[in-house]
């Protein structure tokens, strides 16, 4: 063998190995779905639902990809930018309208009909129904609300009533101050009234919820930012006071799950959170759970300029891309997914957080027999009260019309609002100065994007 | 006498400093292991304990039985292993070509190797994704393997070049006079002499591929294809942060690499140094 | 080294071409180099050039908005006090402090590990370990160790009486320091590896001679060790600076974009926010290109200032 042949042979061998590694075959129609539930139980339930679906629909394969919630936006962007679209995805509520406005989504009216439109909660319909053209372009996979979680034992210790949620911010601050204590008498505070999550996304959440609870909004009818209006300024003042009296000095570094740890271990007396965290308490504070010391308030306080409180509705919709590989098969899968037994199986993987979108499932005896409800029914009851009576809204949306603003994703993804809060709360900047700067930045961003309409 | 005294003091200093160094570097590892075998309630205690009376392997059991960890582990091995083999092969070919043949552009290629370090991954991840997508390599191990190979290649070529340069051509020539073809001469003479360099390149590439988060995050979607760093991140972010299990995962990622690393570290120090000095 | 190459050339030409070899000798250089060059061109240089092209556009991340605007994205950077200039300052603080510490700790550790003592092999292995730990594990582990409620570091510092009040490692005032410390822990082994290898090749005679001349440890370091490891340090400092100036994963996974991230929003993080947060791919690309150009300029200065000196 000549040297040339030897080299070529070596190269060919290497290429063969590479080709073997990279090959993927596709014989059936493969429907790719992305969801945001990477926990093992939900992935497992999805796998079972998919297996049943594939059995009933030969020739269709469903490929689920569970994406960490924080990575969803980025993956969606790369997929959209490059046209490598999955068939069905979970997305942020505010993305649905802007995608459908661009004509990228397949209407889901048939999926909604198969679920039964009357059976679906009103907030879900408001969220997913586009009144302008009369179509549904998404359907929430499950809902849930942000609630105040508190430790009854600490409330009692502080001489506070465990059944009286604070009604105003002033009252709330009063409570939190009483709950911020030095438990071992060494002169240092070791339990704070409240533990807030610090990452940017959670600051956006708290800001819009509190603005909404203070009779305010983030954008006016023409879509112009309203950060310098009184309700927002009052939120900033409130936040500053809150941080100075009742938040841990490193609250900005607190991850969302750290706040649950704080409540579980008694480093904080209250948190704002979602039902998903109940497992955390069972794991790290079994005694408090057994003693019934974990509570959830069925309402939140309102600000000085507000009438009603606003809390967040968690409601990522399923959406189907019109130009995906197999939109019809994806729709067929979603109909299958929402069939009562399948949907219940899915909901029960995170039972306290996943609140079903259908009223009928709420009454279903098998659903009510979910084991976790033995200790956590009060949590779902609080959510049911808020969902039925208090119109929670998705993140960044203080008015339903905000859903039509095409730049919510960009504002939420920017650090404009987060910087505003950080500058006031940690940097000691005057609220109006910080708000003015945020206002200017937001106006510039919206202008750069070509969405300025005022 | 005073000389002896000073020597003893110097010895004490050396051992003291070594102890500090080993503690600083090793303690986090020990702490990770300890957290992984503590019972859950001891983990979140305000006064941490430095030993546990009740060590248990429950966190490891959960890791292997309730998560996709074994899959992530296998994926990381496949990806990092393939990238390593490929980088060593392509890098050695290139370094050999540069040092043994004279051709136009040779100096240009050699000179621009360091240059590519100015392109941080974060700077090119968007267009990179587009290229990968056009090649149909998104969400595949091959895409990741090629990424890591490409990002490791400049350093590897640079390092192997200095190794090959330092190997006298006479040896190769002698082998060829004895009737060996050039590839045979390379395999029998050059590669054994450049072995420390090949090891250094292997470790370098393996670390790059084993540890990368950004490209794996962007390129891979399917759970069944995820590598360890992304898998661990998802474990960390999912429903309940199970500190014991997350630390167990950290141990499982780190220990095999550490054992491998200690086993070959003398080659690494020699090889890396040779490259750095010649640069 | 050039001798070897020239020699190889001579030999190759004197050797009769074996039968069956159809490719001319000098082509082998291209053939052998081709796979490497194709990969680097296709997967690094092409994306970089494409980045430059995008940077001349107002381009949305996924909506079909793409307008050619020339150098406007670059011009906007000059006015961008909060994003660009502040990011540059924070990035410089982070990179310079971290590289400085890595250098001090790394060179000291390398000199220590070059001494002979019982357990040296073990110590070397352990000292290089932090470099092996994947970044995501470093971040999770350090969040755990530095945690101000359950963190073992807080406990150790308080129990040993070094501090009275717990240090809030992740407060706005301290987060930069914390990240510098963590990055030093993770990356100083890189300095150890390079320096140790060079130290091993220093002729012991040099130290013996210096000792005879009555030089103390400091003078021996300055007059014997330092000149010998200068070349290595030259490359190490350059590489480390480029790595730290463009460091993304560590800062991002620790602090994110907003909130705490506000205090460590270096240019790579800002680039990411512009690209993936605000969906302004064009503006993000302009930042990438600027970051790259800054590194080029830095390298040129670095080479002209230090390299000339070094040839002496």
> Could you write out the DSSP letters of every residue in A387-444?
HHHS--B-TT-SSGGGGG-TTHHHHHHSSHHHHHHHHHHTT---HHHHHHHHHHHHHH
A296-320: burial string, b at 16+ Cβ within 10 Å, e else? bbbbbbbbebbeebbbbbbbbbbbb
Is C171's CB within 8 Å of A3's CB? Answer: no
Residues of C in contact with B116 (CB under 8 A): 40, 44-45
**A410-425 pLDDT, tens per residue?**
898 889 999 999 999 9
Structural domain of A82:
29-143+314-389
Is B218's CB within 8 Å of A74's CB? Answer: yes
Is B223's CB within 8 Å of A64's CB? Answer: yes
Residues contacting residue C232 through CB under 8 Å, at least 6 positions apart: B273, B276, B277, C194, C195, C197, C198
Q: Residue B133: which of A64, A85, A87 has the closest Cα?
A: A85
Task: Kindly report the nearest CA distance between residue B233 and chain A, in angstroms.
Answer: 8
* Of C185 and A80, more confident: C185
The pLDDT value recorded for residue A276 is 84
To test the contact with chain B by mutation, choose from C15, C134, C272, C296 the residue with the greatest count of B C-beta atoms within 10 A, namely: C134
Token digits of residue A102:
């661009």
Is A448's CB within 8 Å of C280's CB? Answer: yes
Cα-to-chain-centroid distance, residue C170 = 24
Q: Domain limits of chain B?
A: 2-43, 64-278
Residue C10 banded pLDDT, cuts 50, 70, 90? very low
Is A413's CB within 8 Å of C255's CB? Answer: no
Is C276's CB within 8 Å of A413's CB? Answer: yes
DSSP C277: I
Residues of B in contact with C242 (CB under 8 A): 117-118, 120
By C-alpha distance, the chain C residue nearest A76 is C62
Determine the Cα–Cα distance for residues B189 and B186; give it in Å rounded to an integer: 5
**Within-domain flag for A244:** yes
Determine the Cα–Cα distance for residues A428 and C258; give it in Å rounded to an integer: 17
- In angstroms, what CA-CA distances link A359 with A237, A274, A393? 40, 20, 18
What is residue C175's three-state secondary structure?
A: helix
The pLDDT value recorded for residue C195 is 87
- Out of B147-151, C133-137, C268-272, least confident range: C133-137
The pLDDT value recorded for residue B211 is 86
To test the contact with chain C by mutation, choose from B16, B95, B101, B267 the residue with the greatest count of C C-beta atoms within 10 A, namely: B101
**A164-175 pLDDT, tens per residue?**
899 999 999 999
Determine the Cα–Cα distance for residues A359 and A116; give it in Å rounded to an integer: 10
Residues contacting residue C28 through CB under 8 Å, at least 6 positions apart: B97, B101
B and C: number of Cβ contacts within 8 A: 280
By C-alpha distance, the chain A residue nearest B232 is A68
Task: Kindly report the nearest CA distance between residue C137 and chain B, in angstroms.
Answer: 6
Q: Domains in chain A: how many in total? A: 2
C31 within 8 A of B107, measured Cβ to Cβ:
no
Determine the Cα–Cα distance for residues B114 and B162; give it in Å rounded to an integer: 14
Is A449's CB within 8 Å of C175's CB? Answer: no
**CA torsion through residues B122, B124, B130, B134, sign:** negative
Select, from the ranges A65-79, C79-93, C162-176, the one with the highest average predicted confidence (pLDDT): C79-93
What is residue A86's three-state secondary structure?
A: coil
A27 touches B at CB < 8 Å = no
Is A261's CB within 8 Å of C150's CB? Answer: yes
Residues of C in contact with B147 (CB under 8 A): 43
C99 within 8 A of C240, measured Cβ to Cβ:
yes
* Of B207 and B20, more confident: B20
> A273 and A420 share a domain?
yes
Residue B240 banded pLDDT, cuts 50, 70, 90? low
CA C302-C303-C304 angle, 5° bins? 95
Residue C3 banded pLDDT, cuts 50, 70, 90? very low
Q: CB count, 10 Å around CB of B108? A: 8
Determine the Cα–Cα distance for residues A309 and A213; give it in Å rounded to an integer: 4
C223 within 8 A of C151, measured Cβ to Cβ:
no
The pLDDT value recorded for residue B268 is 59
Is C259's CB within 8 Å of A198's CB? Answer: yes
Residues of B in contact with C150 (CB under 8 A): 43-46, 48
Residue C28 banded pLDDT, cuts 50, 70, 90? confident
User: Which of B26, B93, B131 is facing C43, going by the closest CB pair?
Assistant: B131
Is A84's CB within 8 Å of B140's CB? Answer: no
**C29-42 pLDDT, tens per residue?**
888 889 998 998 88
DSSP C252: H
Residue C14 banded pLDDT, cuts 50, 70, 90? very low
Residues 261-290, chain A, touching C (beta carbon < 8 A):
261-262, 265, 267
ipTM, 2 dp? 0.81
The pLDDT value recorded for residue A81 is 66
> A160 and A297 share a domain?
yes
A83 within 8 A of C64, measured Cβ to Cβ:
no
Does residue C6 surpass a pLDDT of 60? Answer: no
The pLDDT value recorded for residue C24 is 64
Is B129's CB within 8 Å of A78's CB? Answer: yes
**Within-domain flag for C12:** no
Burial of B176: CB neighbours in 10 Å, binned 0-12, 13-18, 19+? middle
Determine the Cα–Cα distance for residues B272 and B275; give it in Å rounded to an integer: 5
**A338-357 pLDDT, tens per residue?**
999 999 999 999 888 899 99
- Across the range A310-315, mean pLDDT stands at 93
* Of A398 and C170, more confident: A398
Phi-psi region of A347 (alpha: psi -120 to 50; beta: other; left: phi over 0): alpha
The pLDDT value recorded for residue B277 is 33
**A99-130 pLDDT, tens per residue?**
888 888 999 999 999 999 999 999 999 999 99
> A256 and A178 share a domain?
yes
B190 within 8 A of B164, measured Cβ to Cβ:
yes
Is C23's CB within 8 Å of A4's CB? Answer: yes
Q: Residue C40: which of B158, B127, B145, B154 has the closest Cα?
A: B154
Phi-psi region of A59 (alpha: psi -120 to 50; beta: other; left: phi over 0): left
Is C277's CB within 8 Å of A198's CB? Answer: no
Structural domain of C164:
80-311
**Within-domain flag for A346:** yes
Residue C60 banded pLDDT, cuts 50, 70, 90? confident
* Of A434 and A22, more confident: A434
Q: CB count, 10 Å around CB of B232? A: 24
Determine the Cα–Cα distance for residues A130 and A139; give it in Å rounded to an integer: 12
> A84 and A136 share a domain?
yes
Task: Kindly report the nearest CA distance between residue C244 and chain A, in angstroms.
Answer: 22
Determine the Cα–Cα distance for residues A124 and A118; give it in Å rounded to an integer: 11
Helices (H) and strands (E) in chain B, counts: 14, 0
Residue C160 belongs to domain with CATH number: 1.10.3720.10
- Average pLDDT, rounded, for chain B: 81
Is C61's CB within 8 Å of A81's CB? Answer: yes
**Within-domain flag for A305:** yes
**Within-domain flag for A15:** no
Q: Residue A193: which of A264, A260, A261, A243 has the closest Cα?
A: A243
The pLDDT value recorded for residue A430 is 96
User: Which of C18, C29, C292 is facing B97, going by the closest CB pair?
Assistant: C29
**What phi and psi values does residue A31 have, to the nearest 5 degrees?**
-95, 120
Residues 101-160, chain A, touching C (beta carbon < 8 A):
102
One CATH from 3.30.950.10, 3.30.70.2860, 1.10.12.10, 1.10.3720.10 for B64-278: 1.10.3720.10
DSSP C225: I
What is residue C20's three-state secondary structure?
A: coil
C148 within 8 A of C170, measured Cβ to Cβ:
yes
To test the contact with chain B by mutation, choose from A8, A66, A144 the residue with the greatest count of B C-beta atoms within 10 A, namely: A66
Determine the Cα–Cα distance for residues A182 and A178; give it in Å rounded to an integer: 11
Determine the Cα–Cα distance for residues C61 and C278; give it in Å rounded to an integer: 9
Q: Residue A410: which of C265, C68, C281 has the closest Cα?
A: C281
> A42 and A160 share a domain?
no
Q: CB count, 10 Å around CB of A133? A: 10
> A306 and A319 share a domain?
no
Q: Residue A417: which of A240, A201, A239 has the closest Cα?
A: A201
Is A415's CB within 8 Å of C175's CB? Answer: no
The pLDDT value recorded for residue B2 is 58
Does residue C310 surpass a pLDDT of 80? Answer: no
Is B141's CB within 8 Å of A70's CB? Answer: no
B46 touches A at CB < 8 Å = yes
By C-alpha distance, the chain C residue nearest B33 is C141
Determine the Cα–Cα distance for residues B224 and C105; give it in Å rounded to an integer: 41
Residues of A in contact with B143 (CB under 8 A): 22
Determine the Cα–Cα distance for residues A104 and A85; give it in Å rounded to an integer: 10
Determine the Cα–Cα distance for residues A309 and A311; give it in Å rounded to an integer: 7
A and C: number of Cβ contacts within 8 A: 118
Is B48's CB within 8 Å of C152's CB? Answer: yes
Determine the Cα–Cα distance for residues C187 and C183; give it in Å rounded to an integer: 6
Q: Domains in chain C: how many in total? A: 1
How far is the first Cα of chain B from the last one, in angstroms, to the nearest whole number? 46
The pLDDT value recorded for residue B189 is 82
- Out of A365-379, B13-27, C68-82, C189-203, least confident range: C189-203
**What phi and psi values does residue A222 have, to the nearest 5 degrees?**
-90, 5
The pLDDT value recorded for residue C222 is 87
A350 touches B at CB < 8 Å = yes
Residues of A in contact with B242 (CB under 8 A): 283
Q: Residue B36: which of B51, B66, B58, B53 has the closest Cα?
A: B58
Q: CB count, 10 Å around CB of C152? A: 20
The fraction of chain B above a pLDDT of 90, given in percent, is: 20
User: Which of C22, C165, C279 is facing A4, going by the closest CB pair?
Assistant: C22
Residues of C in contact with A441 (CB under 8 A): 82
Residues of C in contact with A258 (CB under 8 A): 147
B23 touches C at CB < 8 Å = no
Residues of B in contact with A265 (CB under 8 A): 44, 46
Token digits of residue C37:
């060059």
User: Which of C1, C155, C289 is facing B165, going by the closest CB pair?
Assistant: C1
Residues 70-89, chain A, touching C (beta carbon < 8 A):
73-74, 76-77, 80-81
Select, from the ranges A426-435, C206-215, C291-300, the one with the highest average predicted confidence (pLDDT): A426-435
- In angstroms, what CA-CA distances link B190 with B166, B196, C13? 10, 12, 20
**A251-265 pLDDT, tens per residue?**
988 888 889 888 998
Provide Rg for chain A, Cα atoms: 24
The fraction of chain C above a pLDDT of 70, given in percent, is: 89
**Within-domain flag for C48:** no
Task: Kindly report the nearest CA distance between residue B11 and chain C, in angstroms.
Answer: 8
**Within-domain flag for A175:** yes
- Out of A303-317, B262-276, C133-147, least confident range: B262-276
C276 touches A at CB < 8 Å = yes
**A313-334 pLDDT, tens per residue?**
998 899 999 988 899 999 999 9
- In angstroms, what CA-CA distances link B203 with A380, B76, B262, B265, C143? 52, 14, 11, 9, 27
Does residue C20 surpass a pLDDT of 60? Answer: no
To test the contact with chain C by mutation, choose from A199, A252, A433 the residue with the greatest count of C C-beta atoms within 10 A, namely: A252
Task: Kindly report the nearest CA distance between residue B21 and chain C, in angstroms.
Answer: 7
Residue A204 belongs to domain with CATH number: 3.40.190.10
The pLDDT value recorded for residue A74 is 67
């Amino acid at each position: 063998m000549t040297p040339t042949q030897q080299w070529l042979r070596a190269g060919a061998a290497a290429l063969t190995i590479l080709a073997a590694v990279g090959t993927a075959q596709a014989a059936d129609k493969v429907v790719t779905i992305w969801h945001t539930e990477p926990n093992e139980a939900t992935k497992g339930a999805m796998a079972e639902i998919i297996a049943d679906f594939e059995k009933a629909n030969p020739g269709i394969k469903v490929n689920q990809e569970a994406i960490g919630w924080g990575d969803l936006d980025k993956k969606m962007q790369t997929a959209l930018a490059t046209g490598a679209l999955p068939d069905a995805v979970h997305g942020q509520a505010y993305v649905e309208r802007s995608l459908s406005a661009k004509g990228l989504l397949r209407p889901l009216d048939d999926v909604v009909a198969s679920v039964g439109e009357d059976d679906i909660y009103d907030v879900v319909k408001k969220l997913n129904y586009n009144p302008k053209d009369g179509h549904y372009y998404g359907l929430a996979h499950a809902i849930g609300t942000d609630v105040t979680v508190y430790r009854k034992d600490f409330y009692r210790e502080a001489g506070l009533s465990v059944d009286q949620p604070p009604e105003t911010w002033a009252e709330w601050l009063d409570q939190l101050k009483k709950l911020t204590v030095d438990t071992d008498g060494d002169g240092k505070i070791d339990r704070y009234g409240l533990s807030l999550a610090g990452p940017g996304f959670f600051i956006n959440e708290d800001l819009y919820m509190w603005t909404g609870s203070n009779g305010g909004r983030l954008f006016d009818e023409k879509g112009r930012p309203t950060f310098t209006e009184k309700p927002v300024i009052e939120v900033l003042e409130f936040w500053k006071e809150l941080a100075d009296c009742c938040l841990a000095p490193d609250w900005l570094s607190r991850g969302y799950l750290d706040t649950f740890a704080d409540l579980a271990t008694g480093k904080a007396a209250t948190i704002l959170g979602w039902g998903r965290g109940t497992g955390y308490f069972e794991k790290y504070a079994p005694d408090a759970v057994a003693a019934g010391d974990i509570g959830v308030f069925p309402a939140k306080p309102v600000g000085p300029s507000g009438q009603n409180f606003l809390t967040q509705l968690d409601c990522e919709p399923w959406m189907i891309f019109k130009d995906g590989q197999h939109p019809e098969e994806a729709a067929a899968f979603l109909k299958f997914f929402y069939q009562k037994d399948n949907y219940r199986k899915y909901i029960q993987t995170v039972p306290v957080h996943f609140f079903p979108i259908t009223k009928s499932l709420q009454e279903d005896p098998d659903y009510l027999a979910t084991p976790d409800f033995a200790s956590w029914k009060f949590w779902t009851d609080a959510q049911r009260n808020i969902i039925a009576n208090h119109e929670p809204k998705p993140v960044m949306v203080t008015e339903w019309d905000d859903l039509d603003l095409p730049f919510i994703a960009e504002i939420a993804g920017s650090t404009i609002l987060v910087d505003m809060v950080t500058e006031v709360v940690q940097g000691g900047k005057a609220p109006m100065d910080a708000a003015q700067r945020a206002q200017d930045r937001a106006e510039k961003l919206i202008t750069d994007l070509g969405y300025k309409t005022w | 006498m005073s000389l002896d005294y000073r020597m003893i003091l110097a010895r004490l200093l050396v051992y003291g400093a070594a102890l500090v160094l080993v503690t600083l570097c090793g303690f986090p590892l020990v702490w990770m292991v300890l957290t992984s075998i503590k019972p859950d309630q001891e983990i979140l205690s305000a006064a941490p304990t430095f030993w546990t009376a009740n060590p248990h392997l429950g966190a490891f059991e959960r890791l292997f039985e309730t998560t996709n960890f074994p899959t992530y582990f296998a994926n990381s091995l496949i990806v990092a292993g393939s990238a390593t083999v490929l980088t060593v092969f392509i890098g050695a070919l290139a370094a050999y070509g540069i040092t043994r043949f004279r051709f136009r552009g040779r100096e240009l290629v050699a000179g621009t190797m360091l240059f590519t370090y100015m392109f941080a991954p974060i700077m090119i991840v968007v267009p990179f994704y587009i290229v990968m997508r056009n090649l149909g390599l998104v969400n595949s191990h091959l895409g990741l393997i090629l990424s890591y190979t490409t990002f490791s290649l400049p350093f590897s070529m640079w390092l192997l070049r200095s190794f090959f340069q330092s190997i006298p051509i006479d040896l190769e020539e002698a082998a060829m006079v004895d009737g060996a073809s050039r590839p045979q001469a390379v395999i029998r003479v050059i590669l054994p002499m450049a072995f420390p360099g090949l090891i250094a390149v292997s470790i370098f590439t393996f670390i790059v591929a084993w540890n990368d988060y950004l490209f794996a995050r962007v390129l891979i979607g399917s759970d069944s294809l995820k590598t360890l760093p992304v898998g661990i991140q998802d474990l960390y972010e999912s429903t309940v942060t199970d500190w014991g299990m997350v630390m167990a995962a950290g141990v499982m990622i780190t220990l095999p690499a550490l054992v491998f690393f200690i086993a070959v570290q003398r080659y690494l120090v020699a090889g890396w140094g040779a490259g750095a000095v010649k640069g | 080294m050039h001798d070897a190459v020239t020699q190889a050339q001579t030999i190759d030409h004197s050797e009769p071409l074996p039968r069956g070899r159809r490719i001319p000798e000098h082509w082998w250089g291209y053939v052998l180099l081709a796979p490497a060059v194709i990969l680097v061109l296709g997967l690094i240089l092409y994306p970089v050039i494409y980045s430059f092209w995008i940077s001349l556009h107002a381009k949305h991340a996924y909506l079909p908005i793409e307008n050619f605007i020339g150098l406007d994205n670059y011009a906007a950077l000059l006015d961008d006090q909060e994003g660009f200039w502040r990011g540059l300052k924070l990035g410089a603080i982070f990179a310079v402090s971290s590289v400085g510490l890595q250098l001090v700790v790394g060179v000291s550790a390398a000199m220590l590990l070059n001494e002979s003592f019982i357990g040296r092999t073990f110590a070397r292995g352990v000292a290089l370990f932090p470099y092996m730990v994947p970044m995501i594990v470093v971040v999770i582990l350090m969040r755990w160790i530095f945690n101000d409620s359950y963190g073992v570091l807080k406990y150790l510092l308080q129990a040993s009486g070094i501090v009275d009040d717990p240090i809030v490692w992740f407060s706005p005032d301290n987060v930069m320091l914390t990240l510098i410390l963590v990055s030093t822990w993770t990356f100083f082994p890189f300095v150890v590896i390079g320096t140790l290898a060079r130290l091993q090749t220093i002729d012991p005679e040099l130290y013996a001679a210096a000792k005879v001349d009555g030089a103390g440890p400091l003078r021996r370091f300055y007059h014997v060790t330092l000149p010998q490891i200068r070349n290595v340090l030259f490359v190490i400092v350059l590489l480390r600076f480029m790595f730290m100036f463009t460091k993304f994963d560590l800062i991002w996974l620790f602090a994110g974009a907003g909130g705490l991230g506000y205090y460590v929003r270096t240019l790579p993080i800002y680039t990411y926010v512009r690209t993936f947060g605000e969906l302004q791919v064009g503006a993000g690309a302009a930042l990438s290109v600027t970051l790259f150009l800054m590194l080029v300029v830095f390298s040129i200065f670095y080479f002209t200032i230090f390299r000339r000196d070094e040839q002496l």
